[in-house]
């Protein structure tokens, strides 16, 4: 895979996607949106990748959001029609069965925070600032922010953030459940890497079904969610890895997963 404004690396089951425009705090332009869509589309069908880490290049930003320079270009109807045809990269992320970890250092504003919200687990540096700041530019979040933020922090807090365009500290983000962990700036990448390796060591099919059960279940009425959980749980009782897990426990050794 070759890219210009993102970087992609993959080793031992962990893929790392890095937004790579540090000169503009990794602001997302059209090229970046296209590359992210292609990248996550490929990851979704790559069985070698078991966990994904998303991060920003440089020390100051995860991403400062959409590239505001593109906002001053005339809004040609043909451009909108082209955009409507395309899959948003955050929807491409939704199709990934692999857990996605956001390693957030510095600024995560607008589309940058929306990208983090499309991840499954968020780790932030203690100097991070996070916000859906679109209202200050007379627009609203259009990359899933108005839908994903209330599902993460609740309706009142989401409305407060979206209507004021406030920039939250990492400590406040942790308090309201917008991020799962806050660590020192130097530790963010290492912490995300360690978490990713922990997840990549789990039995692949169980990892996949665990995410599917939680993520899809949240969109279902409770009875249907419980049915989904029961089905996936029953399916997992048919795997070789389930036998291997039990045998390894009884034989006091590390399991060797085959993904079967």
Known catalytic residues?
114, 134
Tell me which of 20, 56, 92, 110 binds ligand COA, using CB under 6 A.
110
* CA–CA separation, 3 and 89 (whole Å): 15
Name the residue among 141, 122, 139, 142 with its Cα closest to residue 131: 141
**By C-beta, is 69 or 260 nearer to ligand COA?**
69
20 touches ligand COA (CB under 6 A): no
Q: How many residues does the chain have?
A: 260
59 touches ligand COA (CB under 6 A): no
CA atoms lying within 13 Å on the CB side of residue 191: 20
67 touches ligand COA (CB under 6 A): yes
CB of 128 to ligand COA, least distance (A): 12
- Tell me how many residues contact ligand COA (CB under 6 A): 15
257 touches ligand COA (CB under 6 A): no
Sites for ligand COA among residues 174-233 (CB under 6 A): none
Strand residue runs (E) in 126-194: 129-131, 168-169, 181-183
What is the residue-wise DSSP string for 200-212? HTS-HHHHHHHHH
56 touches ligand COA (CB under 6 A): no
144 touches ligand COA (CB under 6 A): no
145 touches ligand COA (CB under 6 A): no
Residue 7's contacts (CB-CB under 8 Å, 6 or more residues apart) are 16, 17, 18, 20, 57
CB of 166 to ligand COA, least distance (A): 12
Structure tokens, 171: 């400590």
Tell me which of 134, 191, 229, 241 binds ligand COA, using CB under 6 A.
134
31 touches ligand COA (CB under 6 A): no
CB-based contact 259:205 (threshold 8 Å): yes
Tell me which of 39, 54, 64, 118 binds ligand COA, using CB under 6 A.
64
CA atoms lying within 13 Å on the CB side of residue 162: 21
How many CB atoms sit inside 10 A of residue 81's CB? 9
260 touches ligand COA (CB under 6 A): no
Interface residues toward ligand COA, by CB under 6 A:
24-25, 27, 64-69, 107, 109-110, 133-134, 137
């Amino acid at each position: 895979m070759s890219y210009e404004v993102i970087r992609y690396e993959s080793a031992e089951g962990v893929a790392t996607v890095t937004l790579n425009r540090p000169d503009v705090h990794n602001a997302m332009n059209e090229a970046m949106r296209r590359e992210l869509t292609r990248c996550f589309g490929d990851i979704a069908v790559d069985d070698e990748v078991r966990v994904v880490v998303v991060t920003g290049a440089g020390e100051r930003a995860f991403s400062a959001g959409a590239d505001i320079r593109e906002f001053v270009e005339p809004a040609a109807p043909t451009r909108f029609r082209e955009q409507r045809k395309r899959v948003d990269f955050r929807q491409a992320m939704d199709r990934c069965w692999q857990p996605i970890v956001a390693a957030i250092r510095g600024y995560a504003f607008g589309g940058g925070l929306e990208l983090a919200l499309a991840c499954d687990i968020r780790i932030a540096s203690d100097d991070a600032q996070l916000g859906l700041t679109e209202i200050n530019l007379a627009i609203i979040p259009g990359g899933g922010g108005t839908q994903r933020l209330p599902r993460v922090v609740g309706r009142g807090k989401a409305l407060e953030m979206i209507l004021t365009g406030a920039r939250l500290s990492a400590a406040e983000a942790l308090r309201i459940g917008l991020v799962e962990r806050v660590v020192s700036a130097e530790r963010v990448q290492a912490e995300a890497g360690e978490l990713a390796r922990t997840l990549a060591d789990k039995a692949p099919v169980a990892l996949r079904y665990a995410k599917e059960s939680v993520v899809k279940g949240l969109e279902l009425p409770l009875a249907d969610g419980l049915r989904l959980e029961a089905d996936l749980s029953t399916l997992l009782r048919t795997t070789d890895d389930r036998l291997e897990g039990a045998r390894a426990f009884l034989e006091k050794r590390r399991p060797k997963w085959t993904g079967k």
